[in-house]
Amino acid sequence: MRDDNGPLLRKRREQWVEPLWKSILSNKGLMPLLWRFFPGHPNLLASWFEGEKPQIAAGESYVRKPIYSREGGNVTIFDGQNNVVDHADGDYADEPMIYQAFQPLPRFGDSYTLIGSWIVDDEACGMGIREDNTLITKDTSRFVPHYIAG
């Protein structure tokens, strides 16, 4: 929960609030747990912790992700023969990892597209569209925020 930029925030006049419980929802360790409770659910990808038996058939593509990471940092995509298809560097290489079945993002033209949404008090209030020319969206990806009024 520490960040090298944290001390700089103390010198600013803005006040930022990011509740600690958010780290639970953004923790990728939640994915293998959800898969254990709801195996085969259509809204989940097969997921497992490092060192566990893979939850996909031999020969299927998969992704390795740090449990705590953001914006594609240290994400690696493997083909069914364990060859690296794509990798994004980052600051999270020493974190514990999860593995997940590979599901490519939709591609429109030259861009792979990922949609993020924000919900406050059970109501949609925002959406962000992140696009990249690679299979892994990163902190350098194009980002278009949307505000939902009403």
Proportion of the chain above pLDDT 70, given as a percent = 96
- Write out pLDDT tens, residues 28-49: 999 999 999 999 999 999 999 9
Instruction: Reply yes or no on whether the pLDDT at 118 is more than 60.
Output: yes
Confidence category of residue 2, pLDDT binned at 50, 70, 90: low
pLDDT of res. 126: 85
pLDDT of res. 8: 76
49 and 65 inside one domain: yes
Report yes or no on 123 lying in a domain.
yes
Name which of 5-9, 76-80, 130-134 the model is least confident about: 5-9
Report yes or no on 75 lying in a domain.
yes
Report yes or no on 131 lying in a domain.
yes
28 and 95 inside one domain: yes
b/e sequence 91-104, b meaning 16+ C-beta within 10 Å:
ebeebebbbbbbee
Burial level of 63, CB count in 10 A (0-12/13-18/19+)?
Answer: buried
Report yes or no on 6 lying in a domain.
no
pLDDT of res. 16: 66
Report yes or no on 128 lying in a domain.
yes
What domain range is 74 assigned to?
A: 17-103
113 and 77 inside one domain: no
Instruction: Reply yes or no on whether the pLDDT at 89 is more than 60.
Output: yes
36 and 91 inside one domain: yes
DSSP state of 124: E
Report yes or no on 10 lying in a domain.
no
57 and 117 inside one domain: no
- pLDDT mean over 70-87: 96
63 and 90 inside one domain: yes
* DSSP tally for the chain: helices H, then strands E: 3, 9
Confidence category of residue 51, pLDDT binned at 50, 70, 90: very high
96 and 22 inside one domain: yes
62 and 115 inside one domain: no
In residues, how long is the chain?
150
Number of domains forming the structure of the chain: 2
